[in-house]
């Protein structure tokens, strides 16, 4: 429920292409409801302290094995104008990137300047060179989505 009165965006990630969903009421199952704050399974972004991932890039690790995740690592990266996440590849998994705010430019394979605006996303397959830079004059924010539990292995490349 969005109680802010402002538009909200929800990003849903499933670890499979066609997730099976069931209506618990149709199955006559009564779920045990838990009241209160769910502890480590919720990341309160306003209470997190970022670390400097690269010069001009603040990183907030939102989900991973540290938060109870079983298959996903999520990080929010805030790019100052001119900041660069160097070109790299992941030898064993893909990475999806979702531009949450502002404008960024992505590197993908041999393409060196793919524009990303708020709401745009691209998925980079394993072993494909990619990177991100902020060529604008405003801050920009990116959500990095990895299908692994820990900070993913990466190989930096030119």
Per-residue pLDDT tens over the stretch 87-112: 999 998 999 999 999 999 999 999 99
The domain in which residue 110 lies consists of 56-156
| Average pLDDT of span 59-63 | 91
Q: Check residue 40 and give its pLDDT.
A: 65
Q: Is the pLDDT of residue 135 over 90?
A: yes
Overall domain count for the chain:
1
Q: Is the pLDDT of residue 136 over 60?
A: yes
Specify if 14 maps to a domain. Answer: no
Specify if 141 maps to a domain. Answer: yes
Q: Is the pLDDT of residue 124 over 70?
A: yes
Q: Check residue 65 and give its pLDDT.
A: 85
| Average pLDDT of span 8-29 | 63
Buried b (16+ CB within 10 A) or exposed e, 69-86: beebbbbbbbbeeebbbe
| Average pLDDT of span 36-45 | 70
Q: Is the pLDDT of residue 53 over 80?
A: yes
Of the candidates 135, 138, 65, the residue with the CA atom closest to the CA atom of residue 101: 138
- Check which CATH number belongs to the domain holding 136 and give it: 2.60.120.10
Specify if 87 maps to a domain. Answer: yes
């Amino acid at each position: 429920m969005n109680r802010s009165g402002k538009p909200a965006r929800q990003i849903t990630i499933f670890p499979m292409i066609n997730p099976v969903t069931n209506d618990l009421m149709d199955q006559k199952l009564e779920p045990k409801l838990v009241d209160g704050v769910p502890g480590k399974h919720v990341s309160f972004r306003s209470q997190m302290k970022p670390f400097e991932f690269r010069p001009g890039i603040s990183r907030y690790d939102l989900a991973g094995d540290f938060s109870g995740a079983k298959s996903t690592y999520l990080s929010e990266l805030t790019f100052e104008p001119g900041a660069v996440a160097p070109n790299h590849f992941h030898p064993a998994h893909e990475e999806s990137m979702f531009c949450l705010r502002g404008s960024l430019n992505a590197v993908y394979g041999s393409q060196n300047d793919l524009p990303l605006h708020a709401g745009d996303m691209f998925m980079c397959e394993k072993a494909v060179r990619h990177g991100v830079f902020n060529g604008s004059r405003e801050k920009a924010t990116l959500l990095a989505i990895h299908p692994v539990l820990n900070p993913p292995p990466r190989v930096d490349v030119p």
